[in-house]
Amino acid sequence: MFRSPSFDIYFPSKNRNGTQPVLLFIPGAGVDHSAYSTVADKMSRDHSIIVVVISLEPFRMAATELLEMGTILHA
């Protein structure tokens, strides 16, 4: 797992050859993104996908002006 102030990334234990599917997970309103760490880790391990859980601090809301998709996609 890789943790940053903006997002957490969960990597599968097995690497696939070629491209890796990615699940972008946006937490519910008012919920800290770390609350999804167990689910994200299990999804990554069980399904061999990369799971990215976005941090929506400080307001914990996914309003368009707060969620900078360009930054997330670049990461």
Max avg pLDDT among 2-11, 12-21, 27-36, 37-46 = 37-46
Q: What is the mean pLDDT of the segment spanning 43-70?
A: 73
Q: Is the Cβ–Cβ distance between 17 and 49 less than 8 Å?
A: no
Answer positive or negative: Cα dihedral of 35, 26, 57, 61.
Answer: negative
Q: What is the mean pLDDT of the chain?
A: 77
Residue 39: both structure tokens together: 């689910």
- Report which residue type is found at 6: S
| Beta pairing class for 7-10 and 50-54 | antiparallel
Task: Answer for the pair 74, 46: CB distance below 8 angstroms, yes or no.
Answer: no
Say if residues 60 and 26 touch (Cβ distance below 8 Å): no
pTM of the model as a whole: 0.71
pLDDT, one tens digit per residue, over 5-26 is 878 899 987 776 667 888 988 8
